[in-house]
Structure 1
């Protein structure tokens, strides 16, 4: 009998410990999930403000948008005073200053107003707040944030039932323009090309609702290889970027700024360094104003200037070089000595050559402020033009001075 009582007591104690452990595990699981034990109900009490949604709008530049929103207390406690905040992207502005509001500009040129509404909002009651803004001349793809915190405090970041966001498109457009390059190079050398994406307005550009941001598509000319690529330019695959920006050796790239923003009148410059193949001939390719997924932007109503060319003139041994004095290919004619030299031979500067045409260039140049890649050839002349140095022994073996005429970049497309 004694053993039976002891065994029963041990069993009761074991069940009690199991129940305590199970209860503790349940409470811990609720805490990890971010909640509380059902018996607490502490968060059910208090204010709970919600705000109505603004209707969609497509304001014309210069127009003022004005709507009231309704703030309702769906909680169980009253709210004594509401801090109401509005934020506007850079194509919008507040039409006038309102008493009780504090105005500022925050990150990314966002205009902000924080207004104090001195009213008590009882449970189940509602108040109204006015949202007013005007569309600036450069308005296009915009967004408006508005509302308060759940208990009437100034809202934090992110959106809730008490703090909302309205995306809108102004009744306007923006004209994306592709800018190409026109240059010359020697086969076997390197050559930089600078292309650009320009916004001729009137609207500034940033897509507020999609990652299909504006971009410049760049096709690398046949007979060349991109050896240095701007970090803002990613290889383009079947339907979008396919590798990190700056990856060399691909045939097609899409270039876009990190912040996806193009202001009115702004040109985004992208400079590529190309290796000209030894057997390359004069070559042309296309650049196009588009999007990172190669979709024509709906806001661009002028497709006529969406495309431009990269043109690289590559002289051959059979071409007459118009920059060589006398137009003769039989030898140096302007201060040089010897005979039989070809003015287009890339080994064309021989020892002792003093003629005006006794230097050569691959046309290497520096690009613009955005995505610039610079390159140079073996050396640089006094006028800043890179030169190709030939071997004196090779020139002597040919029995004459070989002249390579300096070819400068033709005045072509203006990327400014």
Structure 2
């Protein structure tokens, strides 16, 4: 069997990072494939052994290329593609390296050899796990004829998924805001990846997601395009559907890099009778399954809290009975639901009563002071009403003294 070494010929400019090395011909007595047409090669690639490398580890294995066809494969274009948590440890002669979509590293290598029908050759595949490695994939192989592979997988071009010996910490971030009953309020919730591994599920459609429980007493009027209603165990309707109680949100590209934070903004209609209300966000998956790579569940949940101030009750009018020397302060609720107020009294004792939510008002001797919850004093000595009434009474009393004095003087003059 002959093996020829020729100058490399790059057939695709958009190639990915790869590694190939010495190619050794290994004659094998294999029968031609029953499906191969006469006069055509039919190359088959063996499977790479599974692995779970730690960040920093180098994977060094080989695959066997076997020709099960009826004609020789004269030259093989071999391609390796690595997801972003993997890289090539060194460059190999005869390979062209590049990066393509989604940060995939590729190597396109020309193996200048002839593989006769029934023969096999072996070629190495080497890559290393980067610090952010977690859920990764490796594509490797050629085409049935030995030309550059296309897209998709078959016996000549394969894919290996692997999970690095690492983790990623998902964090759910809620929001604490205020609104008025009957109004519309936006809330923004977030899903963050604190690493060390980047996240993209390579094995299933159960992608990383954020579960959003809408606060009771509110209605989701506007929903992000990345969020779908959540049913019993998964998405239950088209993304962006309004009016549901629970949603599941996930990135459009199913990717969450280390340190990346995804935001989802909902517009909520607050019902007229709604009091302060609380919902929840949870870092999970599209089917609400806790990801095994997340080893820190303590920060998986957070709350959505919408504080709605309670309306104050109107203040009652002062008593119309001039003989009733008391007024009643209005009661109201502060944001924590505490009732504030008090009752003043008239007389010479100079009593004081609590009148505002922020503090107390103090009355003078013989006057009543009563405050309202909004901080304005009503019917007190501050606006002069009791003081004027007191002055009128004093003037009346003083006038009586004058009348008596005049009468006494007239009586004296008449008697004289």
- The answer to whether TM tops 0.5 is yes
Report the secondary structure of 1:304's partner residue.
helix
Q: Is the 8 A contact 2:76 2:112 kept in 1?
A: yes
Aligned to 2:243: 249
From 209, 214, 218, the equivalent of 2:208 is 214
Q: Is the 8 A contact 2:36 2:68 kept in 1?
A: no
User: How far 1:332 moved relative to its partner?
Assistant: 5.8
How many angstroms apart in 1 are the aligned matches of 2:130 and 2:36? Answer: 48
From 290, 312, 333, the equivalent of 1:319 is 333
Residue 200 (str. 1) matches residue 200 (str. 2)? no
Q: Larger Rg: 1 or 2?
A: 2
Residue 121 (str. 1) matches residue 135 (str. 2)? no
Residue 283 (str. 1) matches residue 325 (str. 2)? no
Map 1:256-267 onto structure 2 (within 5 A): 256-267=250-261
How many angstroms apart in 2 are the aligned matches of 1:179 and 1:42? Answer: 57
From 167, 182, 189, the equivalent of 1:188 is 182
Count of aligned residue pairs for this structure pair: 295
Q: Is the 8 A contact 2:38 2:71 kept in 1?
A: no
Aligned to 1:135: 129
Give structure 1 regions of 4+ aligned residues with deviation exceeding 6 angstroms.
Answer: none
TM-score by length of 2: 0.68
How many angstroms apart in 2 are the aligned matches of 1:208 and 1:339? Answer: 71
How many angstroms apart in 2 are the aligned matches of 1:331 and 1:288? Answer: 39
Report the secondary structure of 1:108's partner residue.
helix
Q: Relative CO higher for 1 or 2, CA cutoff 8 Å, sep ≥ 6? A: 1
**1:128–1:312 distance in 2 versus 1, CA, 3 Å:** same
Aligned to 1:355: none
From 167, 175, 178, the equivalent of 2:161 is 167
CA-to-aligned-CA distance 1:143-166 (integer Å, 9 cap, x gap)? 000001111111011111111110
How many angstroms apart in 2 are the aligned matches of 1:331 and 1:66? Answer: 76
CA-to-aligned-CA distance 1:284-304 (integer Å, 9 cap, x gap)? 111100001000001111111
TM-score by length of 1: 0.68
From 351, 360, 372, the equivalent of 1:330 is 372
Report the secondary structure of 2:37's partner residue.
helix
**Consecutive unaligned residues in structure 2, runs of 5 or more:** 1-34, 312-331, 337-355, 359-370, 380-416
Q: Is the 8 A contact 1:331 1:339 kept in 2?
A: no
Q: Pairwise CA RMSD of aligned residues? A: 2.1
Report the secondary structure of 1:298's partner residue.
coil
How many angstroms apart in 2 are the aligned matches of 1:106 and 1:169? Answer: 22
